[in-house]
């Protein structure tokens, strides 16, 4: 399977970077092709431009400003996002990635009858999120309602593809995680991705 692995963290020595390296190694060892898209390293601009927003309903929508990334997305069969959750949400650069790249004609199209979104990423069979939170699991799930999981699963995954394999794998309470807990999480990531078929 061809996997687009999207990393959204500004620090090269971050735990997210270690997760992305582990994911890439496990996937390649299992025979998959991995295209690493490090949003910070590739200097991705998350800002939706005035032209992009004003032409949102144009047919066809102009994706020329992100054409190289759109091509990489369309070539993928699987998507894996690696990112920290900040303030119970995506890092701004990843939110901007969704705003600019998961655009009309790429990730979905507007139903001509109005109101409905028609999924266009039919090439994507797998969407995994490998993430961390500074808060404990109960705060994220019980108090906040797990907003990132809901956005990814009920919004992005459901509206952009049909019948894909969705998984979200989180290390909670990251701010207090010991080295042993981090190593154990990397081992779980390795095991999870070694089983991808």
Long-range contacts (CB closer than 8 Å, 24 or more residues apart) made by 30-35: 30/193, 30/194, 30/195, 30/196, 32/1, 32/2, 32/3, 32/78, 32/196, 33/1, 33/2, 33/3, 34/3, 34/5, 35/2, 35/3, 35/4, 35/5, 35/72, 35/75, 35/76
Q: What is the pLDDT of residues 97-152, one digit of tens each?
A: 999 999 999 999 988 777 788 999 999 999 999 999 999 889 888 888 899 999 99
**39-66: pLDDT as tens digits:** 999 999 999 999 999 988 888 889 999 9
């Amino acid at each position: 399977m061809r996997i687009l692995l999207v990393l959204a963290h500004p620090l090269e020595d971050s735990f997210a970077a270690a997760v992305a390296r582990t994911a890439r190694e496990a996937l390649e060892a299992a025979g998959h092709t991995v295209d690493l898209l490090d949003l910070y390293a590739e200097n991705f601009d998350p800002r939706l431009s005035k032209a992009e927003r004003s032409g949102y309903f144009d047919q066809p929508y102009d994706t020329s400003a992100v054409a190289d990334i759109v091509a990489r997305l369309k070539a993928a069969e699987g998507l894996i996002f690696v990112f920290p959750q900040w303030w119970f949400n995506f890092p701004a650069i990843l939110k901007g990635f969704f705003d600019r790249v998961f655009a009309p004609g790429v990730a979905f199209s507007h139903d001509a009858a109005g109101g409905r979104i028609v999924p266009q990423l039919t090439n994507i069979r797998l969407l995994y999120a490998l993430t961390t939170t500074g808060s404990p699991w109960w705060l994220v799930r019980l108090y906040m309602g797990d907003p990132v999981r809901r956005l990814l699963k009920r919004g992005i995954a459901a509206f952009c593809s049909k019948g894909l394999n969705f998984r979200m794998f989180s290390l909670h309470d990251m701010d207090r995680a010991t080295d042993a807990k981090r190593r154990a999480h990397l081992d779980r990531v390795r095991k999870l991705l070694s089983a991808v078929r």
